[in-house]
Amino acid sequence: MPPLSNRVQRAKKPLSAQRRGGAVAVALLALLLVGVIILATTMNSKGSAESLAQSDRRSERNHLVAVASVRSQPTVEFINGTEVIWQIPESPKAVLFIAHGCNCRAANFWDRSAHCPHCVGLPEDRLIVLNALGRRFAVIAVSSLGRCWSIEKDVGIVKGILQWWIENHELQKLPVTALGASSGGYFVSDLAKEVNFSSIALMISAGVFRSMGFPVGYPATLFVHMPKDLRVKRLIEKNMAALKKKGVSVKEVRCLEFPLTRTILTERIPGLDETVSASLFELFQEKGFIDEKGYLKNDGRATRWKQALKEKVPSMEKYEWLDHIEEELNLAFAYHEMTSLPIASSMEIIETVDTPLVAHL
């Protein structure tokens, strides 16, 4: 998804909101917050980044066995022309709303299946949903009307859909959390004024706080970002300080770059053959796309790897995993991409959270 900071527009007339309580007041933060420890936000050297990223991926691989048992069985609906995809596990304990980034859609978060033939199942997106379902989160994703989210146009629509869906499935007593990435992060930060979220996570997004007021009870906020993007990093620092002054619980997770390996793509993309992963790694070495340690010199969007692949293997031009591979390349470069890593690394400790996490912030 392309970087975005100024393509969401503010709602002219705020909608009324009622705040809803819950026993798991910041359940989404519990899914993500352990990344603060795993990723060690104060460490800045490439050596430190490498070892921590590898540790985080090992933790995730250990958890993939459990995640693999979660079945992707979404329901797809179109409500007044708006695509809504959702899945409710048995005995749900919380609700998670997900807002995608620019040029993305709700279908990215579930694997293609008979339940959703047009679903894409991008590797990071799907892992966020599978991890959430594995922890008994009822998950709902909505597609924006346009290429990116518009606060002016989409807030009322999404608020109405969430209220209807929660009531229709008798989930009113559960805490409601939200995660938004890039454009979706800016959108969620404003939507949180109108919808009763117990917590929000803004991924690769600084949110829109400078001109907005803060209603009483604005939810605990987690920023998951990639500090290589210095502009967004500085905005997040300013917004965190402003939120804290307003009494809002705030935390951050900094996601660092990590090197490619021969097997990393097949480890993270279900169905991708190991020989393809190794061949791509060798191609990246041959073309100089990575340095001697395996670190990408540019992210997937700025690397001409698709052209190089087409020249070497013409039949791969329409290969179905190209978007999946590019997402993982963007993640490895750690500038601007959806990431499931902090969520996956938290699975071992979530069971120990017996009180609202807000008490621990």
Q: What would the two tokens of residue 138 be?
A: 């009822």
Which pLDDT belongs to residue 310?
86
pLDDT tens, 16-34?
A: 333 344 434 444 454 444 3
DSSP 179: E
Taking the C-alpha atoms of residue 110 and residue 183, their distance in angstroms, rounded to an integer, is: 20
Return the exposure string of 17-54: e unless at least 16 CB atoms fall within 10 Å of the residue's CB, then b. beebebebbbbbbbbbbbbbebbbbeeeeeeebbebbe
What pLDDT, on a 0 to 100 scale, did the predictor assign at position 65? 47
Answer yes or no: pTM beyond 0.85. Answer: no
pLDDT: which is higher, 245 or 11: 245
Looking at residue 313, its pLDDT comes to 80
Count of CA atoms in the C-beta half-sphere (13 A) of 141: 28
User: Between the CA atoms of 238, 243, 244 and 247, what dihedral angle is there, to the nearest 10 degrees?
Assistant: 170
Residue of 66 and 334 predicted with greater confidence? 334
Calculate Rg over the CA atoms of the chain: 20
Find, among 224, 198, 248, 221, the residue nearest to 95 by Cα: 198
- H or E element that contains 134: helix 123-134
Spatial separation of the C-alpha atoms in residues 261 and 275, rounded to whole Å: 12
Q: In this model, does residue 215 exceed pLDDT 80?
A: no
Alpha carbon separation from 226 to 250, 265, 302 (Å, rounded): 17, 20, 17
Q: Residues spanned by CATH 3.40.50.1820 within the chain?
A: 27-258+336-348
Residue 181 pLDDT: 96
d(CA 47, CA 164): 49
Residue 210 pLDDT: 67
Q: What is the pLDDT of residue 20?
A: 41
Burial of 105 (0-12, 13-18, 19+ CB in 10 A): middle
Choose the weakest-confidence range: 231-240, 247-256, 342-351: 342-351
Pair 173, 330: CB distance under 8 Å:
no
3-state SS, residue 254: strand
User: Which strands make up the sheet holding 176-181, listed edge to edge?
Assistant: 75-79, 82-87, 137-142, 94-99, 176-181, 199-203, 220-225, 250-254
Structure confidence by residue, pLDDT tens digits, 161-174: 999 999 999 999 99
Residue 321 banded pLDDT, cuts 50, 70, 90: confident
* Options 3.40.50.720, 3.40.50.10490, 3.40.50.1820, 3.90.245.10; CATH of 27-258+336-348: 3.40.50.1820
**What local confidence, expressed as pLDDT, does residue 77 receive?**
96
| Whether pLDDT at 353 is above 50 | no
80-95 pLDDT tens trace: 999 999 999 999 999 9
Q: What is the pLDDT of residue 219?
A: 92
Which of 186-190, 259-263, 268-272 has the weakest average pLDDT? 268-272
* CB proximity list for 52: less than 8 A, separation 6 or greater: 38, 39, 40, 43, 256
Give me the pLDDT at residue 56, please. 52
Which pLDDT score is estimated for 312? 84
State residue 343's pLDDT score: 64
Q: In this model, does residue 355 exceed pLDDT 80?
A: no
On whether the CB atoms of residues 183 and 103 are closer than 8 A, the answer is: no
What is the rounded CA–CA span in Å between residue 333 and residue 260?
9
Rounded to an integer, the average pLDDT of 106-126 is: 95
pLDDT bracket for residue 352 (50, 70, 90): very low
Two structure tokens written together for 64: 């993939």
CB 219 within 8 A of CB 194: no
Furthest C-alpha separation in the chain: 59
Higher pLDDT among residues 135 and 45, named by residue: 135
